[in-house]
Structure 1
Amino acid sequence: MPPVGQNIRRLRLAHGMTQRQLAYELRVSMQAVSKWERGQAYPDMSLLVPIARLFSITLDELFGCERV
């Protein structure tokens, strides 16, 4: 199962977004997004649903339980 950060990166790129754009949408720092994608940190639990909604996926898909 791929880490959440890898899925966030894959989804972000598939939607043509930069880290800066994703950070703006989620109201977090660009450094936070970078850390998620590099596996150095995880998104706060309060951000999981907004991330899934932004990419029109389920939480299962975000966590790699289903194909993204």
Structure 2
Amino acid sequence: MAIKDVIAAIRKEAGITQEEMARRLYVTRQAISRWEQGRTLPDV
């Protein structure tokens, strides 16, 4: 399973929006969107 799929699955399982996930991780909603699209990867 690709990282983009894992991120989306975790978010959907938690029942939260990209906006809420971004707030909890201290990143932008756009960053979450790019991660889920596979355009970029989260920094470790």
Q: Please give the TM-score of this superposition, normalised by the length of structure 1.
A: 0.63
Q: Please give the TM-score of this superposition, normalised by the length of structure 2.
A: 0.94
For 2:3, the aligned partner's letter is V
Q: Which has the larger radius of gyration?
A: 1
Computed over aligned residues only, the root mean square deviation of the Cα atoms, in angstroms, reads 0.5
Q: Aligned equivalents of 1:41 and 1:3: distance in 2?
A: 12
Sequence identity of aligned pairs in percent?
Answer: 36
Greater helix content? 2
Q: Number of residue pairs matched? A: 44
Flag structure 2 segments of 5+ consecutive residues without an equivalent: none
